[in-house]
A and B are shown apart, each in its own frame.
Chain A
Amino acid sequence: MENSKASDQKDSRFPYRKATPFHYHKLDAESPRSSNNEIGFSPGSDRRFAFSRQTLFHQSSVASGDSVTPMLSRTSSSIDIPLNKRGWSEETFLWGEEEGSDEKPSIFTHLLSGFRILRSGNRPMRRLLLLIFLNVAYSTVELCLGLLLGRVGLVSDAINLTFGCGLLTFSLFAMAASRKKPDRIYTYGYKRLEVLSAFTNALFLLFMSFSLAVEALHAFIQDESEHKHYLIVSAVTNLLVNLIGVWFFRNYARINLVYRKAEDMNYHSVCLHVLADSIRSAGLILASWLLSLGVKNAEVLCLGLVSVTVYILVMPLFRTTGGILLQMSPPSIPSSALSKSMRQVMSREDVSEVSQARLWELVPGHVIGSLSLQVKKGIDDDRPVLQYVHGLYHDLGVQDLTVQTDYA
């Protein structure tokens, strides 16, 4: 824990931990253009918002004192991602200036955006694009071969691969689109897309595990085992392509991972996807090898094993992304810390009641909350209370807090 704290403080990857204004969203673009998610309704309002944020910043830094507070520690049982990737968080403003919607782009726009990603995307995006390209090429070749030779197995494998490719493309799209600045309709920005794509990937992997189990059952009942033999070449190639993918995303090849930013989830899901595919190919190769050795029911065993493995791989990711999408309380903030903060707020003499503390995570690392205070009557200026509460919750890791004060 210590070394990660130290490396946090000197690592410029996490700029948002160093400053403590009320408004967190500002910090990822240090441009003077300040209308990130502030909905200004008149042209002159930008300066006013910047001014107000500045005064609040001064007040809050006075109130909270220490401005380089590390975040609350995560659960100690997970393994941290090594903090050695430098270029991953650079904000290449790929989609920042785009104004159009991404709903129905044409093929031409796809190609253009593909080239743009190649040129200026960050490293994982480029790697993912390369991976998708490899997969598409491989599955096209397989499809053509299968159609020409009339082998159903090849065609089915190609279609299976195409589904996977479609999902990876959605992940890539989510990576690219999540950099857009928040606008009027999506007031929290587009970062949730990454969580959504991670969830979709996890769902697809669950479906795959389920279908492998059904296939194992099928093989168990029917006891026909020849058709696996001609797929060896395709299985080996599939395995190689997927192992390349695992190598690209090797930092995320773990089951339980601490997610610090939104992209972590997406990368983790892509890595698990590729890993599961490679496990499946390896299982097929193993099954046909065992069959050639004469082991009975090898197919059932291998398929069942692969299905269980993929299920175990995917379940933690599925549960975490599901928790974020369900607006669960952030697991990174333990409830003891929450109740301690509430007690501290209540112990102030001008506060009579705290109710409705609701916290949720937009993306990993960005917690939003709302709180309701009952303040004793007669206190006219509630600014100290507000600052105190904001500072307290900021130390917990809640960047956005809306506090409603009622005068009882």
Chain B
Amino acid sequence: MEPQNSKDHGHRIEVSADMPAVEKGYGGNRVCREVTCGFSDAKASSQEAKERSASMRKLWIAVVMCIIFMSVEVAGGIKANSLAILTDAAHLLSDVAAFAISLFSLWASGWEATPRQSYGFFRIEILGTLVSIQIIWLLTGILVYEAIARLIGGTGEVQGRLMFIVSAFGLVVNVIMACVLGPDHSHGHGHGHDHGHSGHDHGKGAHHDHDHEETDHNIHSQTVNIDIHHHDEGHSKQHMEHHHIHREADLSQPLIDSCAREKKERNINVQGAYLHVLGDSIQSVGVMIGGAIIWMKPQWKCIDLICTLIFSVIVLYTTIRMLRNILEVLMESTPREIDARQLEKGLCEMEEVVAIHELHIWAITVGKVLLACHVKIKLDADADMVLDKVIDYIRREYNISHVTIQIERE
């Protein structure tokens, strides 16, 4: 955003500290300036960068482990001259490809917004996850095809024992990677402090919301200081909260950060990679069962195909939920956690507001929500004040920080 403005207008009126904006409410930032916008902001982006680097670290560990195990399997397969092991190694190679896509999307989503990509590059995560889920489906299809081909072609005897050992090894590898990529339960100590804060909250449901608020407070911690002295009336509850948060801000900063990292959902790329690993371990379990049965009774060869089919269906089923989330974001639909009807009702309950129309709520990526609507107000109402109230309400209740409201008079 900044490069665009500086290129296009030679002059800009830079209003950096919102001192004259007295009744701005809540942190004093109604229009997202370049510095304090929720998308590309100093404090928020540093926190995001921390999260992003944590996710990238996880993915790097998973990739390195995958490569090590894959080379072990390739060496063992060539030595034992077994096709099954080489196939498993190829499967691990596809895992590496999927992780590489996730890593790239993670890295790319941190790029600065350009005039051509005015919303930043956050959507790349979603597309990257979509591509890696398609890879999962493709691989499952290839596995099914190979099972059918093996059944029809009748390629000699299937060695149950070898299948069992290889798939057991693959299962161990996948379980280790799942532990690396999965949800971590390490920041339990942050909870107590957090509960203390929630008493001063406006009683909104999830800690999720509260957490965002904390984050926002940390963002505006500089302007909060100034605003405390300027708030006169009407925002007494927020006033108290500002004081409280401001005092606690320094003490609880590291704790809040860790809470934020745990409370927020895992990054969608890490979730996609986790799904990949989960699918692989399910397949390994299936192959182990099939291999054990064939080991016991070598004449039941078609068990291989049946096991593959069943477990492929299970793998596809696990991806459906994430696919639905991705589809909802890509279709620009209202995110699930926000109730548009309630928001509209709450807005219309304000006195000056006559009607709301063209309400659009959509998400750039999971967790970053935008809103745009037209608000019709009474002829004699003060547009500035109504704008403030509306933006404040939306920010408070629904945590949507990126809001564009067009005020129209009756």
Chain A contact residues, CB within 8 Å of chain B: 23, 37-39, 41, 45, 48-49, 52, 146-147, 150, 152, 155-156, 159, 163, 184-188, 190, 192-193, 196, 200, 203-204, 207, 322, 325-329, 335, 338-339, 342-343, 346, 352-360, 362, 370-372, 374, 381-383, 386, 400, 402-408
Contacts and interface: CB of A to CB of B under 8 A. Distances in A.
A373 to B, nearest CB: 9
A226 to B, nearest CB: 15
Given A184-B340, A193-B331, A370 B404 contact: yes
Contacts of B408: 52, 383, 386
Contacts of B64: none
Contacts of B374: 402
Contact of B357 (A49, A196, A207): A49
Given A155-B149, A370-B404, 6 more contacts: A39-B357, A41-B348, A152-B149, A196-B327, A343-B9, A358-B118
A392 B116 CA distance: 20
Nearest to B405: A404
Interface string B268-298: 0000000000000000000000000000000
Query: Closest 8 A-B residue pairs measured CB to CB?
Result: A339-B8, A358-B118, A370-B404, A402-B372, A326-B123, A186-B333, A407-B384, A402-B404
B33 interface: yes
A38 B406 CA distance: 15
A146 B7 CA distance: 64
8 contacts: A41-B344, A52-B408, A188-B362, A326-B127, A327-B123, A338-B8, A343-B9, A402-B405
B16 interface: no
B145 A156 contact: yes
Interface in B142-156: 144-145, 148-149, 152-153
A273 B17 CA distance: 55
Contacts of B5: 355
A37 B12 CA distance: 37
B31 A404 contact: yes
A329 B118 contact: yes
A343 B8 contact: yes
A38 to B, nearest CB: 5
A357 B1 CA distance: 9
A327 B364 contact: yes
B359 interface: yes
A403 B345 CA distance: 22
A187 B152 contact: no
B141 interface: yes
Nearest to B407: A405
Contacts of A192: 330-332
A122 B341 CA distance: 35
A187 B138 contact: no
Contact of A352 (B13, B31, B116, B341): B13
A408 B384 CA distance: 9
Given A159-B145, A355-B31, A187 B361 contact: yes
A112 B344 CA distance: 38
Given A358-B118, A402-B358, A404-B31, A187 B127 contact: no
A39 B340 CA distance: 9
B41 to A, nearest CB: 14
A91 B117 CA distance: 33
Contacts of A403: 404, 406
Given A187-B360, A342-B8, A343-B8, A45 B355 contact: yes
A325 B1 contact: no
B405 to A, nearest CB: 5
B30 interface: yes
B334 interface: yes
B372 A370 contact: yes
Interface residues of B, number: 66
Nearest to B33: A355
Nearest to A192: B331
Nearest to B343: A39
B115 interface: yes
A328 B8 contact: no
Contact of A342 (B9, B348, B383, B404): B9
Interface in B327-384: 327, 330-334, 340-341, 344-345, 348, 355-362, 364, 372-374, 376, 383-384
B154 to A, nearest CB: 8
Interface in B107-158: 115-119, 121, 123-124, 127, 131, 134, 138, 141, 144-145, 148-149, 152-153
B31 A184 contact: no
Contacts of A381: 409
Contacts of B121: 326
Given A155-B149, A192-B330, A358 B119 contact: yes
A353 B333 contact: no
A152 B406 contact: no
B228 interface: no
A384 B367 CA distance: 37
A404 B387 contact: yes
B8 A405 contact: no
Nearest to A188: B332
Given A156-B145, A343-B8, A325 B123 contact: yes
Contact of B334 (A187, A327, A343, A371): A187
A313 to B, nearest CB: 19
Nearest to B345: A41
Contacts of B302: none
B100 interface: no
B330 A39 contact: no
A52 B374 CA distance: 12
Contacts of B344: 39, 41
B281 to A, nearest CB: 24
Contacts of A374: 13, 31
A187 B357 CA distance: 11
B341 to A, nearest CB: 7
A200 B348 CA distance: 41
Contacts of A371: 404
Given A184-B341, A329-B118, A322 B9 contact: no
Contacts of B327: 196
Residue among A152, A196, A322, A408 with most chain B CB within 10 A: A152
Contacts of B31: 355-356, 372, 374, 404, 406
A406 B123 contact: no
